[in-house]
Structure 1
Amino acid sequence: MTEISLDNFATAHATGAAQVVDVREPAEYVAGHVPGAASIPMGQLPDRLAEIDRSKPVFVVCQAGGRSAAMTDALLHHGFDAHSVAGGTAAWTKAGRPVESGTPKGR
């Protein structure tokens, strides 16, 4: 598993280079998520791989880092350039980074 620091992720996110996949459950996502993150809950990820752009790095986020680490390993196994975001959404929020709320688009 590859893990990216919150600061390095924030830099990638700010430059628009971040393809973010939030693997938390829908209610968690709705309550608050990294802006622009796609909601693909952990249990659905294997069936929704086609929704992720293989030509770009994928930054996987959950609440604290456990689920994102497991799903990063799965994405790496499928040939994605995937990175688990250290500390997850909790660390992102605690650092005062912007958060969006609301229902995921398209689902």
Structure 2
Amino acid sequence: MFSLFSKKKFESINVRDLSEKLGKINLIDVRESGEFKAGHVPKAKNIPMNILLKNPEKYLNEKEEYHIICQSGSRSSKTCANLSSQGYQVVNVSGGTGGYPLPLKK
């Protein structure tokens, strides 16, 4: 199981580079709904990690690319590893909302 996470099959971008892409990408925040409501990156859609990983086909299209974000980058990295192994095109947003340089939307 650990080999799945060590073999990186997805890209990562730094959260500081995210602002210029907002509105042009599919951005999914995998934090819990309470965390999301407390503040999130503009244009992000909230789908908690456990819900997204349970039924990704309900929320994702294999032909589209998705940027995945969380608070620090840990949950988003795990989510990306899981989804990329299933054939989804995902990009991890490292640094997460905790490193986002602009005010978060509430």
TM exceeds 0.5? yes
Structure 1 match to 2:96: 88
Within the candidate set 4, 8, 33, 2:17 is matched to: 8
Q: Which segments of 5 or more consecutive residues in structure 1 lack a partner in the other structure?
A: 102-107
* 2:31 maps to 1:24: yes
More deviation, 70-79/53-62: 53-62
CA deviation vs aligned residue, 1:11-33 (integer Å, no higher than 9, x gap): 221xx221011111111001011
**Residue type of the partner of 2:104?**
V
**Higher-strand-fraction structure:** 2
Shift of 1:39: 1.0
Give the direction of change, closer, same or farther, for the CA distance of 1:7–1:23 in structure 2 (3 Å limit).
same
Shift of 1:77: 1.3
- Determine the C-alpha separation between the residues in 2 that align with 1:5 and 1:22: 15
TM-score between both structures, scaled by the size of structure 2: 0.79
TM-score between both structures, scaled by the size of structure 1: 0.79
**Residue type of the partner of 1:99?**
L
Percent identity, aligned pairs only?
30
* 2:67 maps to 1:100: no
Count residues with an aligned counterpart.
96
CA contact (8 A) 2:15 2:97 kept: no
Ranges of 4+ aligned residues in structure 1 off by more than 4 Å: none
